[in-house]
Structure 1
């Protein structure tokens, strides 16, 4: 019986490469970038997969990383860190139904001119 390559069924394992591998590929094409810079850009854009300490980046995510470098950076947000899940927030609470209902009643009163 033929042996099955399980990486064929996973796009992440089949297409994903480590930052070091991407740096080598880019160097072959005349693109000079350090592994550290690539990791930082991946973290900034959220375009990577991580399992433990291993970072894998797919070709589509490399495109996202390059596209992320094209955006205009506002000076007013320079130095401001990420918030939420990417920054490690452990908040998992959903939207409170009590607060949602209260906000809806408030908006309805304002719309009817009674609030």
Structure 2
């Protein structure tokens, strides 16, 4: 990781790190998290700064991501070994407005008997 001297007075540039840098920091502490997961949690909580395509996260925002982020929502209560194929999705991304709108229009047409 390259240390960059921040402009005088900029707390964001002085303390902020990219998600890639935070993943490296956490890996050094034994915390295994992907950059994608960190970005998703930052977006979900709004705890980040963005300029163009660059995302910066300060230490205070990392705390917010851990505090406000969703906890595990596993419904499994089995203690034994699970075998076979699992059905379902574990994605946390939101629904696409394009697909949601198309689905809504389709259902409205069906309800009116025109589709």
Structures share a fold, TM > 0.5?
Answer: yes
Residue 23 of structure 1: aligned partner: 23
Provide TM-score, normalisation by structure 1.
0.56
Considering fraction of residues, name the structure with more helix: 1
| Unaligned residue ranges in structure 2 (runs of 5+) | 74-91, 95-115
Q: Are the structure 2 counterparts of residues 68 and 58 from structure 1 closer, same or farther at C-alpha, using a change threshold of 3 Å?
A: same
Residues 28, 53 of structure 1: alpha-carbon distance in 2 compared, 3 angstrom cutoff? same
- Structure 1 segments of 4 or more deviating over 6 A? none
List per-residue Cα deviations over 1:80-110 (Å, max 9, x = no partner): x6xxxxxxxxxxxxxxxxxxxxxxxxxxxxx
Question: 1:14: how far off?
Answer: 0.1
TM-score (norm 2): 0.56
Query: How many angstroms does 1:71 deviate by?
Result: 6.3
In structure 1, stretches of 5+ residues that fail to align are: 74-78, 82-115
Task: Say what the alpha-carbon RMSD is for the aligned residues.
Answer: 2.5
Q: Which has the larger radius of gyration?
A: 1
- Deviation of residue 69 (structure 1)? 2.5
Q: How far off its partner does 1:8 sit?
A: 3.6
